Amino acid sequence: MKLIHKEVLKILATHCAALVLAGIVFVGFFHVGVFDGVSVLFYKGIVIIVVTSALLATGMFLLVKKKILKLLSVRDVILSVVLFSSIAMVGFTHLPVTADRSISVFILGYMNSRQNQPITADEMEQVFIERYVKKYKAMQRRFDEQIVSGNISPVPGGFVLTSQGRNVVGLYDVLCDLFVVDPKFVRPGE
């Protein structure tokens, strides 16, 4: 029984070490600029998750092939890659992507910079419009993202929704109904 317990701990420790190492590589890729050609943060993160997962799989396959850790099998490689990519995707989309896009994070950050000075909702709205929308060019950033995503297309006089964009709106429309989400951001024209 003790031998099985010890082996399970070794496998668990190996998976934890693989996740930590992959996490360090994942974060490191954002700092070295290798993927700076991907302009949309969300897409850059997905590319980095895929590349890091491939590196993780390669490293672990080598461990299995060389029998460095005799307890590891191909199942462990698959498990570590699935765990890393799942945790990285959820963590990345909920933290850095939210920080990059969130109105709520902007509000909290602005309030933090004011060192406990009160601000009204009307004052915050003005700051939001002047800084987030105008100074930081929020609309142009979103248009650029949607062009890259293939959801809108530039035409003389502005932009139009593509068929893919209509499909995306349709998907969000269904999701609003399915999860009882207020659809005002999906159907703002109604």
For the stretch 28-63, pLDDT in tens is 999 999 999 999 999 999 999 999 999 999 999 998
Rounded to whole angstroms, how far apart are CA atoms 51 and 126? 42
As a whole number of angstroms, the distance between CA 24 and CA 183 comes to: 38
Tokens of 58: 């390669």
**How far apart are alpha carbons 64 and 48 in whole angstroms?**
24
Predicted local distance difference test score (pLDDT) of residue 171: 95
Look up the pTM and report it. Answer: 0.81
CA 133 to the chain's CA centroid: 22
Question: Rounded to an integer, what is the distance from CA 41 to the centroid of its chain?
Answer: 8
* Torsion sign over Cα 148, 170, 94, 24: negative
Average pLDDT of the chain is 92
pLDDT, position 91: 95
| The pLDDT of residue 81 | 96
Q: How confident is the model at residue 185, as a pLDDT?
A: 86
Question: Is the Cβ–Cβ distance between 172 and 186 less than 8 Å?
Answer: yes
- With a cut of 50, which residues of the chain have pLDDT below it? none
Q: How many residues does the chain have?
A: 190
**Rounded to an integer, what distance in angstroms lies between the CA atom of residue 80 and that of residue 120?**
48
